């Protein structure tokens, strides 16, 4: 044990693994109807737009429920509140599998899953703050980002494969069982905090939530990052949502469009692993946030204007690498900048800004409807990213210091 009373426990990786599992499973439940929309439409006897509601309710529910979830996380702790949330995810996931061809019951179950999703997303900095020294926290948030990406990819890739041998309702039931297994692991293995804090920052007193919100929103760098999160997530969600419509006028079919989406996620996986580790190593956040936003600009322009599939594919890899790598570093930056605001509160505000970017997703389609293609909207999004990168250059670096022993 460190004479200072701090210690970094190896058990933090067990907690991390379980958090990654529950985050991956909820992403599978979120996206699993998207790659089989036509078959789901036939099963439930509804339009594909109504099938899209299975995914859309997650974003819609997040906006009013994010801040209450953050309050509960900070008031009662992440282990207790997220534990209750993952049990609800498992229950509603299994219910969706048991709904059979009843569309309304399946949608109600999806709404139940969506309602508790904020507890998982808004604890992304809370758990690392309790278990990890500050020099590892961006890496820890990067691992949670990675789990989210992997869950999305699994839902997109595995669902059509399973649909060749089993019904869609059986697939949803299997996913519900997977959520139940990860929920059981969470309840059995996750604790709120270790016996000793990993460093001084983990043991310092945090502001009450109401005062914490006021403090965070009164901090100029935090407010600037909220704007950057709004733009960055809006671009990523917009491209992910409309990738097939973006690719079609370029002479690419749905297979190519699916590959472009997969390549963007692959680039994001690499970025979520490498960039947060580099940020932790040099103890700086701002350069990586700015580089990610700036690097996404040529990726977005390439998606809009590059000739030929190879260059468009390379642009998608660059776009995913750049945008997704900003998320874990930026989340940790926001948490450090807003200190002593509780991590759940700062995390919730950033997540809320990202989910509110649904207006940019709608704007992209509105511009497409007016102009006949997505090139103009992609160009507009590239300009917004450039503005966000310039805004990022004015962020104040925190320079947090740490010290602890590992065991």
- Per-residue pLDDT of 105-121, as tens digits, reads 999 999 999 999 999 98
What integer pLDDT is reported at residue 49 of this predicted model? Answer: 72
What integer pLDDT is reported at residue 244 of this predicted model? Answer: 65
Q: Which residue in 316, 194, 337 sits closest to 267, CA to CA?
A: 316
239-288 tens-digit pLDDT: 876 776 777 787 776 567 767 877 888 898 888 888 888 988 888 889 99
Q: Is 401 exposed, middle or buried (0-12, 13-18, 19+ CB in 10 A)?
A: exposed
* Alpha helices, H only, 32-47: 37-44
Q: What is the DSSP letter of 241?
A: H
Contact 237, 357 (CB under 8 A): yes
124-166 tens-digit pLDDT: 878 888 898 877 887 887 788 889 888 887 887 788 889 889 9
What integer pLDDT is reported at residue 210 of this predicted model? Answer: 61
Looking from the CA of 288 toward its CB, the CA atoms found within 13 Å total 29
What integer pLDDT is reported at residue 173 of this predicted model? Answer: 97
In whole angstroms, how far apart are CA 358 and each of 242, 269, 328, 363?
12, 23, 20, 9
Q: Which residue has the tokens 């490498």?
A: 274
349-377 tens-digit pLDDT: 887 888 787 788 778 878 888 888 888 99
Cα-atom radius of gyration of the chain, to the nearest Å? 21
What is the mean pLDDT of the segment spanning 40-66? 85
Q: What is the DSSP letter of 403?
A: -
310-348 tens-digit pLDDT: 999 999 999 999 988 888 888 888 888 887 777 667 777
pLDDT band with cut points at 50, 70 and 90 for residue 53: confident
Q: Is the pLDDT reported for residue 403 higher than 70?
A: no
12-195 and 209-392 in the same fold: yes
- Asked which of 61-70, 164-173, 236-245 is least confident by mean pLDDT, the reply is 236-245
Q: Is the pLDDT reported for residue 293 higher than 90?
A: yes
What integer pLDDT is reported at residue 198 of this predicted model? Answer: 84
pLDDT band with cut points at 50, 70 and 90 for residue 1: very low
What integer pLDDT is reported at residue 407 of this predicted model? Answer: 41
Q: Is the pLDDT reported for residue 102 higher than 60?
A: yes
* Mean per-residue pLDDT of the chain: 85
More confident residue, 182 or 144: 182
In whole angstroms, how far apart are CA 314 and each of 237, 260, 310, 385?
19, 9, 6, 19
236, two tokens:
């990523």
189-229 tens-digit pLDDT: 999 889 888 877 665 545 555 667 777 888 888 899 999 99
What integer pLDDT is reported at residue 6 of this predicted model? Answer: 80
What integer pLDDT is reported at residue 341 of this predicted model? Answer: 76
**At the top level of CATH, which class does the domain 12-195 belong to?**
mainly alpha
More confident residue, 99 or 159: 99
67, two tokens:
């801040």
CATH entry 1.20.1250.20 includes domain 209-392: yes
Contact 405, 3 (CB under 8 A): no
Helix (H, G, I), strand (E, B) or coil at 39: helix
189, two tokens:
């293995």
**Domain spans of the chain, in order of start:** 12-195, 209-392
pTM here is: 0.73
Rank 27-41, 164-178, 297-311 by mean pLDDT and report only the highest.
164-178
The CB density around residue 284, as the number of other CB atoms within 10 Å, is 17
């Amino acid at each position: 044990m460190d004479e200072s009373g701090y210690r970094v426990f190896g058990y933090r990786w067990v907690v991390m693994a379980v958090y990654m599992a529950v985050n991956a499973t909820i992403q599978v439940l979120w996206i699993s109807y998207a790659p089989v929309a036509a078959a789901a439409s036939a099963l439930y006897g509804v339009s594909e737009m109504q099938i899209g509601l299975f995914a859309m309710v997650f974003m819609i529910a997040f906006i009013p429920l994010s801040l209450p979830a953050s309050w509960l996380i900070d008031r009662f702790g992440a282990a207790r509140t997220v534990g209750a949330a993952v049990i609800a995810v498992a229950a509603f996931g299994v219910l969706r599998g048991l709904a059979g061809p009843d569309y309304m019951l399946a949608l109600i179950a999806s709404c139940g899953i969506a309602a508790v999703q904020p507890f998982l997303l808004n604890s992304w900095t809370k758990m690392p703050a309790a278990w990890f020294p500050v020099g590892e926290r961006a890496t820890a948030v990067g691992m949670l980002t990675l789990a989210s990406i992997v869950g999305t990819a699994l839902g997109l890739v595995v669902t059509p494969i399973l649909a060749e041998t089993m019904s869609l309702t059986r697939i949803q039931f299997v996913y519900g069982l997977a959520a139940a297994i990860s929920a059981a692991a969470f309840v059995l293995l996750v604790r709120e905090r270790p016996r000793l804090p990993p460093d001084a920052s983990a043991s310092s007193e945090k502001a009450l939530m109401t005062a914490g919100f006021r403090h965070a929103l009164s901090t100029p760098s935090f407010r600037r990052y909220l704007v950057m999160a709004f733009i960055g997530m809006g671009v990523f969600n917009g491209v992910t949502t409309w990738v097939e419509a973006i690719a079609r006028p370029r002479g690419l079919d749905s297979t190519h469009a699916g590959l472009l989406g997969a390549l963007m996620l692959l680039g994001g996986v690499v970025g979520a692993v490498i960039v947060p580790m580099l940020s932790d190593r040099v103890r700086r956040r701002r350069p990586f946030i700015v580089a990610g936003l700036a690097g996404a600009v040529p990726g977005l322009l390439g998606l809009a204007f590059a000739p030929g599939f190879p260059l468009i594919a390379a642009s998608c890899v660059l776009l995913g690498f750049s945008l997704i790598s900003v998320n874990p570093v930026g989340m940790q930056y926001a948490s450090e900048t807003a200190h002593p605001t509780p991590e759940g509160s700062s995390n919730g505000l950033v997540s809320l800004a990202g989910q509110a970017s649904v207006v940019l997703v709608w704007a992209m389609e509105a511009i497409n409807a007016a102009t006949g293609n997505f090139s103009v909207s992609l160009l507009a999004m590239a300009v917004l990213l450039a503005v966000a990168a310039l805004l990022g250059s004015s962020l104040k670096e925190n320079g947090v210091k740490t010290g602890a022993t590992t065991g």
